[in-house]
């Protein structure tokens, strides 16, 4: 009886670990695909598939599927998604565009502040929702600088509206 419990526990944790590695690798692969990294993405796919097949081999061991193994597989999927997203935040590959819409009086101060941080900044005069004058401030930055830029935006104008978009490629600096 003790051997069965040990085997069940070991297989449970092995399935969770393998499936979480599989999904983590696949999440990173999708990031590489979205960034156009053609040489790395296929390699990640091969690794992910090999790990997934290993996890499935344990799930289907002896030709039967136990609810414990199904739960382990599903838990590994969830854990791998979480780990993959954390890694994506940490590696911060590529560029993003920060778009800030702010009152006209606050816009120029923000532009000056961002330029002091050595960022390229473009601003446009526009009309806001209620016909008021606003500035649209645009900057394209490396993702790893995003938190710093957003802190600068909220420091200059805590009520500014901003959005962030992924940028697939950047040609050159003007």
pLDDT in tens, 36-62: 888 889 999 999 999 999 999 999 887
pLDDT given at position 109 = 86
- Measuring CA to CA, which residue among 162, 171, 8 is closest to residue 100? 162
Q: Please tell me the distance from the alpha carbon of residue 168 to that of residue 174, in angstroms, as a whole number.
A: 18
Fold classification of 95-167 is Alpha-Beta Plaits (3.30.70)
pLDDT given at position 56 = 93
Q: Please tell me the distance from the alpha carbon of residue 15 to that of residue 26, in angstroms, as a whole number.
A: 16
What is the pTM for the complete model shown? Answer: 0.71
> In sequence order, what are the beta bridge partners of 95?
142, 167
Contact (Cβ atoms closer than 8 angstroms) between residue 83 and residue 24: yes
pLDDT given at position 14 = 96
pLDDT given at position 98 = 96
pLDDT given at position 8 = 83
pLDDT given at position 6 = 85
Long-range contacts of the stretch 107-116 (C-beta < 8 A, 24+): 107/134, 107/135, 107/137, 108/135, 109/156, 109/157, 110/135, 110/137, 110/152, 110/153, 110/156, 110/157, 110/160, 111/135, 111/137, 113/152, 113/155, 113/156, 114/139, 114/149, 114/152
**In the chain, domain spans:** 2-91, 95-167
With b for 16 or more beta-carbon neighbours within 10 A and e for fewer, the 66-95 pattern comes to eeebeebbebbbebbeebbeeebeeeeebb
The segments of the chain whose pLDDT lies below 70 read 1-4, 173-174
pLDDT given at position 158 = 87
């Amino acid at each position: 009886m003790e051997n069965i419990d040990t085997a069940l526990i070991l297989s449970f944790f092995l399935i969770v670990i393998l499936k979480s590695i599989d999904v983590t690798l696949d999440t990173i692969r999708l990031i590489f695909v979205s960034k156009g990294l053609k040489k790395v993405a296929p390699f990640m796919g091969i690794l992910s598939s090999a790990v997934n097949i290993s996890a499935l081999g344990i799930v289907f061991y002896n030709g039967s599927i136990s609810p414990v193994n199904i739960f382990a597989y599903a838990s590994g999927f969830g854990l791998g998604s979480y780990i993959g997203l954390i890694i994506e935040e940490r590696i911060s590959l590529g560029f993003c565009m920060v778009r800030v819409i702010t009152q006209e009086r606050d816009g120029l101060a923000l532009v000056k502040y961002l330029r002091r941080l050595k960022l390229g900044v473009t601003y446009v005069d526009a009309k806001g929702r209620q016909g008021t004058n606003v500035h649209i401030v645009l900057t394209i930055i490396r993702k790893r600088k995003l938190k710093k830029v957003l802190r600068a935006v909220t420091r200059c104008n805590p009520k500014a509206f901003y959005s962030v978009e992924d940028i697939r490629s950047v040609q050159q600096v003007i």
